[in-house]
Amino acid sequence: MGFSELFILLFTLHSLLAMASRQPTAPKSYLFSEYIGAEDNNVKFSDVPINPNVEFHYILAFAIDYTNSSSPSPTNGEFKIFWDTHNLSPSQVSSIKTQHTNVKVALSLGGDTVRGKTCNFTVSSVDSWVSNAVSSLTKIIQEYNLDGIDIDYEHFVSDQVTFVECIGKLITALKNNGVITFASIAPFDDDDEVKKK
């Protein structure tokens, strides 16, 4: 390689590095998430102060794939709303999102109990659970103009592999269909519950 070719190569590399160093960096972002509506009635979005300098996620608790009867039973992915729909309605979701552009609202799947009975992740088959979940959740998410989902199962009848496959396929389908823009998974302090299945 001759001197002029080496000079051109070094000049090009220097120019590229200079341009890269001048590119704006993404601002540091902060996220705050708050579950709302799980056990207490009469809690409103306005009861929780919103910091305008952070991305703020309200998480409606819970959408559960169980019947809402006095003796609840699993529905294989057909989700129903179990939060306070009087104070956390579609119009209230729209209102809080309009008032605060940094607010997103999601729903949480699972939870601990339904009417005092342990809420287990129960699947008849992966394909049927995913199909039912995509259909029922899409209806709820679109009715409430929600942005995402949160996974918060705490008890399992199905094994780990089935859980991961179902949730992975669900999130992929909802994102690919443009139904949600984000998904989160709640921390769970008893990983033996999943491991023992």
- Catalytic residue list: 154
Q: Which residues pair with 120 in a beta bridge?
A: 155
Closest to 167 in 3D by CA, of 146, 144, 150, 190: 150
Rg (CA), the chain: 23
Residue linked to tokens 């259909």: 135
What is the rounded CA–CA span in Å between residue 151 and residue 154? Answer: 9
Burial label, 49 (beta-carbon count in 10 A; 0-12, 13-18, 19+)? exposed
What is the rounded CA–CA span in Å between residue 83 and residue 114? Answer: 11
